Amino acid sequence: MQALETAVPESSFVANYAPEPSAYDEMCTEAQHVRSHWQPLVQRLGTLGISEVGRRWGKAQELIHENGVTYNVYGDPRGMERPWNLSPLPVVVGPEDWLLISRGMVQRAELFEALLADLYGPQRVLTSGTLPPQIVFAHGNYLRALHGVSPPRNRWLNLYAADLVRGPDGAFRVIDDQTQTPSGAGYTLENRIVISSVLPEIFRECNVQRLALFFRAFREMTQSLAPHNRDNPRIVLLTSGRSNASYFEQAYLAQYLGFTLVDGNDLAVRDDHVFLKTLGGLQPVDVILRRVNDDFCDPLELRPDSLLGVAGLVQAARTGNVAIANPLGTGLAQSPALSPYLPALCLQLLGQELVLPSPRSWWCGEPSALPEVLARLDQLVVKPAFTSSSENPQFVGLFSAAEREALVRSLKATPEAYVAQEYVTPSTTPVITESGLTPRALVVRFHAVATMPRGFTIMPGGLARVADVAGVSAISMQRGARSKDVWVLSLDRVSGFTMLPPSNRPLALSRGGGDLPSRVADNLYWLGRYAERAESVARLARVIGARLLDLSSEGELQRSHEFGPLLAALEAQTEFLYSADIPYAESMTIETCEAALVSAVSDDSREGSLAGVIRAALRAGRLVRDRISMDTWRVLATLDGEIEDLRGARGGHHLSTLVNLLNRVEVTLSAFSGLAIDSMTRGQAFHFLDMGRRLERGTALVTLLRATTVRVSDREGPLLEAVLEIADSGMTYRRRYLATLQTPAVVDLVLADESNPRSAIYQLRALADHIQALPPLPASGTRSPQLRFALAALRELELAEVEPLCEPDPEGGRPLLEKFLRQLGTQLPQLSDSLSDSYLNHAIVSRHLVHEPATDSNGGGA
């Protein structure tokens, strides 16, 4: 298909590249010539040199790791599953191939759209005999509740994606269609951003078509579907949940396109309209971009056991008050069982020959198909007939005898459940390995988006996946596969249009006003709490550790009085003893002190240990990934590695290593706080994040004072110094009182001095301000309960007379101070609970009302 091929340039870059003769190679011809459309890239890479590419790639990987979690990590931080590793060499698509691919993709999208309109309408393809009706009637995604319901603007398909391979003959085949919730566009975009920053000059010079225009079309399409408010519609991306493999892609797309990321519980149907539950009340939703499968979308009319959907959504869709993209029921068209019938359907529905065919396929429910399939089984891939599953194609040629036998049995028992497809040996493309360039099998996913009023546009680029093992027989793409950027070369000058923000500034929360979903507010609040809790635990542990390091003997430990109270404070913090009694260790050795410290830092079986709290912060952060800036996220991601180091500390690091580590964690966490403050607009998101921080900081201060100041000791100086250091108030103190350390002065500064931004009263003042800035609650009086809690605590602190409070009793205690602190320790959690009750507990999960029970006649007597 390529016109010009010239000899490989004198470049070590491709010198030892040896494609396998049995497959088509994307870069080289059989005669080892570089295809013309690859030459611009190959020449420039040759000039750059493979080692420079390697060096840059190393740098990029650091960036990816920092961005890491954005880029491709999902699930638990320890799970760290990476769906794809990115590979630095792009795949180049020449202009002629692109013409064919884009024409073929548009046609296939149009075909599936016409097919869906027919199947959910007159069903002429069934009455005419073109399509066996079983394929529709036995399909789980044929949603009868949607039959006869025309989607907004009569567009049955808004997004479409397909996986293409190129066979040894050089022709493309579609091995998988996605018509329900096409995925991968977000990954494609992320890949492009990374690769174009690794190879910026090559990317510019190669005249690569940009992706931004596609995403603009994507956004325009979504907007134009809105039944109301077309000028400024509210568009949400309905996620299939955090545990879904593509959750981060969903969060990424939502952020990039400016849509609100929601899950089913964030939405509610009232009077045939869909609303977003926000802090400011219910806000109408015009368009839902869904990643939830058809049958899970509405527990009332579809699958009753679904927790992902929205009750009443089908009814809202039926009335046309909300657009759902893709429309409900579109999963029907991605059935592999359709493949054998697509050429005939294309003729009947579009009057055209199919441009991009599937591999030769048989639906085994067709009486004539089964014998043919069994006769050539070893050259075939067998798939379930009704579920799209490119993830799991079974190439029979690789089966063991027992597996093959089991398959034959199933085929004979329920032939209609299977589709068999000729195996197409995929083309290969080079990847960089330790032994230089090596060919690897390639699959590319291309994306289409609907244009209004008709037609589709194709993304000039795609998500390439390459096998991670050599050899073209490797068919399974999901394990250890790598992804690649796909460069579609342009004959014209490319448009420099970009949708990325102009500079590298943090992406601030742009959603002002009242559209913050309650669930998101809840997660931000907890992110603030956990991050602050981690910071205070780290600081406390670091102060203790540093002092332990200074000890020269057990005797010195016995003579010093600060370790008991400080370790008690650490215990109280990590065991959440906010108002309960704080236990003090009876006797201590350096060894027990160190053990207590290590446990509080790194024992991740303890929920309140530093490791445990950081993990909780990461978890909360991940859930609001789309709401915090890239930089803030990057800081959080750094913590991920530190958690691992903390865990190592458990094995018995030297104490000084632990102290260094705590220092680092503290710095990272203050960077997080700083960034959160700098990069967030003062909207509701910020209020909730900061309320979490303030509440936690206040609690930590009260706990610290309760553990360290309510008992009189002989030498209070060193302990008070530690308290000031932990409360980050040492400098202020010295400025005020010079070197004299006295309990009342320290308590006053840390507890009740409003000019000290690290004092408890300062935190409460900030909390009260935040609460007053929150949207008013319906049906509450002038002051909400949480405001009353905050003001009550604030009042007590304002009126507190510190000197009398600190008066010791004859037993050497400070009972008044203890009582005062204990009460504060009770009030703060109450304040938190009432905040949750008022704003955050909207996520009550709906449930199914038991059907009216099976009914019966009055016994068999009639």
Partner 1 sequence: MRISVEHRTRYQYSAPVTTSHHEARLSPRDSEHQRTLSQGVEISPEPSVVRRRSDYFGNRTLYFGLCEPHLALEVTSKSVVELMPRRLEDPSRAPPWEQVALLLKTDRKRDVLDAYELTFNSMLVKANPTLAQYARPSFTSARPVLEAARDLTRRIHSDFTYDRRATDIATPLEKVLEQRRGVCQDFAHLMIGCLRSHGLAGRYVSGYLVTEPPPGQPRLRGADASHAWAATWVPEFGWIDFDPTNDLIPNGQHVTLAYGRDFDDVTPLRGVILGGGHHTLKVAVDVVPVDDEI
Q: Which residues bind partner 1 (CB under 8 A)?
A: 123, 126-129, 133-134, 137-138, 144-145, 147, 268-272, 299-301, 304, 311-312, 315, 318-319, 844, 846-862
Of the pair 375, 849, the CB lying nearest partner 1 is at 849
Of the pair 79, 129, the CB lying nearest partner 1 is at 129
Q: Cα-flanking dihedrals φ and ψ of residue 28, to 5°?
A: -115, 150
Q: Cβ(516)–Cβ(681) under 8 Å? A: no
The neighbour count for residue 305, using CB atoms within 10 Å, is 8
Of the pair 134, 660, the CB lying nearest partner 1 is at 134
Dist CA 745 CA 805 (whole Å) = 12
Minimal distance, residue 304 CB to partner 1, in Å: 8
Minimal distance, residue 360 CB to partner 1, in Å: 25
> Smallest Cα–Cα separation from 569: which of 590, 539, 607?
539
Dist CA 324 CA 316 (whole Å) = 10
Dist CA 424 CA 164 (whole Å) = 10
Residue 110's alpha-carbon distances to 82, 179, 324, 415, 598, in angstroms, are: 34, 11, 18, 30, 63
Minimal distance, residue 72 CB to partner 1, in Å: 36
Of the pair 300, 614, the CB lying nearest partner 1 is at 300
Dist CA 95 CA 493 (whole Å) = 13
Of the pair 143, 463, the CB lying nearest partner 1 is at 143
Minimal distance, residue 272 CB to partner 1, in Å: 6
Minimal distance, residue 319 CB to partner 1, in Å: 8
Q: Cβ(439)–Cβ(23) under 8 Å? A: yes
Q: What is the DSSP string of 519-580?
A: HHHHHHHHHHHHHHHHHHHHHHHHHHHHHHHH---HHHHHH-SSHHHHHHHHHHHHTT-SSS
Minimal distance, residue 787 CB to partner 1, in Å: 24
Minimal distance, residue 300 CB to partner 1, in Å: 5
Of the pair 124, 682, the CB lying nearest partner 1 is at 124
Dist CA 685 CA 487 (whole Å) = 38
Of the pair 272, 725, the CB lying nearest partner 1 is at 272
Tokens 């009639």, residue located: 862
Dist CA 820 CA 720 (whole Å) = 19
Q: What is the DSSP string of 723-767?
A: HHHHTT-HHHHHHHHTT---HHHHHIIIII-TT-TTSHHHHHHHH
Of the pair 783, 848, the CB lying nearest partner 1 is at 848
Minimal distance, residue 314 CB to partner 1, in Å: 9
Minimal distance, residue 343 CB to partner 1, in Å: 19
Of the pair 312, 621, the CB lying nearest partner 1 is at 312
Q: How many CA atoms lie within 13 A of 852 on its CB side?
A: 2
Of the pair 651, 853, the CB lying nearest partner 1 is at 853
The two structure tokens encoding residue 586: 């009876």
Q: Residue 141, class by beta-carbon neighbours within 10 Å (0-12 exposed, 13-18 middle, 19+ buried)?
A: buried
Q: Cβ(449)–Cβ(159) under 8 Å? A: yes
Of the pair 329, 462, the CB lying nearest partner 1 is at 329
Q: Cβ(183)–Cβ(246) under 8 Å? A: yes
Minimal distance, residue 133 CB to partner 1, in Å: 6
Of the pair 347, 580, the CB lying nearest partner 1 is at 347
Minimal distance, residue 602 CB to partner 1, in Å: 43
Minimal distance, residue 569 CB to partner 1, in Å: 42
> Smallest Cα–Cα separation from 193: which of 499, 445, 424?
499
Minimal distance, residue 356 CB to partner 1, in Å: 29
Where b means 16+ CB within 10 Å and e means fewer, 194-218 reads bbbebbeebbeebebbbbbbbbbbb
Of the pair 4, 850, the CB lying nearest partner 1 is at 850
The two structure tokens encoding residue 260: 């609100």
The neighbour count for residue 510, using CB atoms within 10 Å, is 9
Q: Cβ(236)–Cβ(259) under 8 Å? A: yes
